[in-house]
Each structure stands twice: as structure tokens, then as C-alpha cells.
Amino acid sequence: MKIVQIMPASDWYFKHDSTVWNIAAFGLTDDGETIGLVGAGSDGTLKIVPTRTNGVYLSSSTPT
């Protein structure tokens, strides 16, 4: 999987179990999948957060 485009995300979150992360950007992969990217680690590198981890993407207007 290769990310071919990155788009800023505003007011989007990823929830897995009881943890919620702020989505910094969405990435478009070379196979057409859209994935969330979160700022993680002390170096601020964006990390992939795929929905297949049994989590869900939520917008700020989505009830939890």
C-alpha cells in the first residue's frame, strides 16, 4: 500500500475501544482506499489508522 495523496482533516476522530484519536489528515492509497492519519510519537510522524482495527471514524457532528 502506497499513499498517493494526503488531505487535511478537520473535526474528524478515530475511536477504538475507549480511546479516541484526532485525525490530522486522510490519505488516499494507490488502490483507492481512504485511511485516517494521526500525529503520533515524539517526532510528529503521521501514522496510519485503518478501520480494519475494529475502530470507527467519527466526525464532530457524529453522535458517539
- What integer pLDDT is reported at residue 32 of this predicted model? 94
Instruction: Specify the pLDDT at position 53.
Output: 67
What are the backbone angles phi and psi of residue 52, rounded to the nearest 5°? -70, 0
- Global pTM value: 0.72
Residue of higher predicted confidence among 25 and 39 = 25
Please, how many CA atoms are within 13 Å of residue 8, restricted to the half-sphere of its CB? 2
User: What mean pLDDT is predicted for residues 56-61?
Assistant: 87
Here the cell at position 9 is: 482533516
Per the prediction, the chain carries an average pLDDT of 82
The span from the CA of 61 to the CA of 49, in Å, is 20
Q: SS3 for 47?
A: strand
* Sequence ranges of the domains in the chain: 3-59
Q: Can you tell me the distance from the alpha carbon of 31 to that of 47, in angstroms, rounded to the nearest whole number?
A: 18
Q: What is the pLDDT of residue 52?
A: 58
pLDDT for residue 38: 82
